[in-house]
């Protein structure tokens, strides 16, 4: 009975994942899960965690609401993983208090801007194989990036070969606008689509007119050999 009473008396928020170490730092709880061969984010992270280190693991994805229950979280380190995909609502629930988010040294090529633009945290995005595009450009313009690492956000791939290997900030400073390129591409696609529909309508009208002309000619040819009403009267 004393054992079950002890279990009931321990707050759920004070538990610690078996693969992590939980410590106190100036009264704030730190959850240390560095280099633990984790392939996904632990489910049982204490709700009162303020510092969370998940660096140097094998995490490949950050799913929606992965940290939603961590309303006290201020620092989140996900660097040196194998992250390739980040869902749009990956950081939902921690936007208000999060001060630092480290996503550096992963395998991230693109990221939904909705996942980051709601955050007030200072972002570290360096050393990822980024595909330079409009969404990444918008993140660079609107998000709070760590000034010490912004130069290390490099174009691993890009719409034009001349941008590959260059820091994204340098490319943008040269006057390149990936968003306008996408808009022009969209405009061209819409023009081609409209032209296609217009051509189909023209072809239909031409076929319709020719078909009516053929029917009229057949009708006239059919009437020609018929005796006229006047001939019958005589």
pLDDT digits (tens, 9 = 90+) for 134-144: 989 998 888 89
Gap between the Cα atoms of 51 and 27, Å rounded: 11
**Is position 217 within any domain?**
no
pLDDT attached to residue 202 = 75
DSSP letter, residue 75:
E
Note whether residue 218 is domain-resident: no
- pLDDT-derived band at 74, boundaries 50, 70, 90: very high
215 belongs to a structural domain: no
- Would you say residue 225 lies in a domain? no
Q: Are residues 160 and 206 in the same domain?
A: no
Q: To the nearest whole number, what is the mean pLDDT of the chain?
A: 82
Q: Is residue 42's pLDDT more than 90?
A: yes
Same domain, 97 and 34: yes
**Same domain, residue pair 192 and 82:** no
How large is the average pLDDT for residues 170-179?
A: 93
Whether 185 has a pLDDT exceeding 80, the answer reads no
Question: What CATH number corresponds to the domain at position 116?
Answer: 3.80.10.10
Q: What is the pLDDT of residue 118?
A: 79
Q: 81 and 64 in one domain?
A: yes
- Split into its structural domains, the chain has a count of 2
Query: Distance between CA atoms of 32 and 45, rounded to whole angstroms?
Result: 10
pLDDT at 1 over 50: no
44 shares its domain with 62: yes
Report pLDDT for 10: 38
Report whether pLDDT(53) > 50.
yes
Q: Classify residue 64: in a domain, yes or no.
A: yes
CB burial class (10 A; 0-12, 13-18, 19+) of residue 130?
A: buried
26 and 115: one domain?
yes
Same domain, 108 and 51: yes
Give the domain extent around 55: 21-177
């Amino acid at each position: 009975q004393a054992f079950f009473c002890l279990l009931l008396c321990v707050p759920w928020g004070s538990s610690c994942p078996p693969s992590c170490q939980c410590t106190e730092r100036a009264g704030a709880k730190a959850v240390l899960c560095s280099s633990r061969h984790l392939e996904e984010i632990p489910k049982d992270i204490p709700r009162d965690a303020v510092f969370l280190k998940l660096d140097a693991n094998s995490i490949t994805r950050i799913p929606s609401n992965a940290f939603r229950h961590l309303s006290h979280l201020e620092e989140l380190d996900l660097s040196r993983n194998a992250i390739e995909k980040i869902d749009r609502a990956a950081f939902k629930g921690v936007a208000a208090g999060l001060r630092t988010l480290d996503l550096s040294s992963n395998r991230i090529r693109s990221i939904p801007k909705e996942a980051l633009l709601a955050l007030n945290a200072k972002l570290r995005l360096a050393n990822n194989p980024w595909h330079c595009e409009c969404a990444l450009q918008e993140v660079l313009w609107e998000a709070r990036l760590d000034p010490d690492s912004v130069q290390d956000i490099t174009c691993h791939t890009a719409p034009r070969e001349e941008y590959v290997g260059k820091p994204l900030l340098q490319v943008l400073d040269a006057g390149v606008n990936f968003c306008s390129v996408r808009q022009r591409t969209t405009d061209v696609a819409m023009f081609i689509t409209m032209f296609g529909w217009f051509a189909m309508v023209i072809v239909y009208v031409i076929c319709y007119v020719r078909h009516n002309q053929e029917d009229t000619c057949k009708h006239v040819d059919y009437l020609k050999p018929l005796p006229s009403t006047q001939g019958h009267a005589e």
